[in-house]
Structure 1
Amino acid sequence: MDKCAKLSFLDHIVDQAREQEVFSREDVPTEERVWAAFLYHSGLSYLKVGLALNHSHEAVHQWYHQIAELFDPESDRHGVIAVDETKVATEDEEIYVWAAVNVDMFETVHVEVSLDRSDLDALVFLKTVLARFHGEPVVLADRGPWYDWPLNDFDLPCRSRRETWGERSLVEAWFFVFKYRTMLFLARLPYPSSWQSADRWAKAFATFHNALR
Structure 2
Amino acid sequence: MKYSQLNEVEWDKYSVLGFDMDGTLYDEFQFIEQVYYKIAKYLALFSVNEENYIYNWLLERWKKKGSSYPYIFSEALVEFGINDHEQLKNCLSIFRSFQPQINLNNKIINFLDSISLEKELFLITDGHEFLQRAKFDSLQLTKWFKAKNVVFTGSFGSEYYKPNISTLKHIDCLQQFQSPVLYIGDRFIDEQFAENANFDFLHVKKFIDFWGVDL
TM-score by length of 2: 0.34
Relative contact order: is structure 1 or structure 2 higher (C-alpha 8 Å, sep ≥ 6)?
2
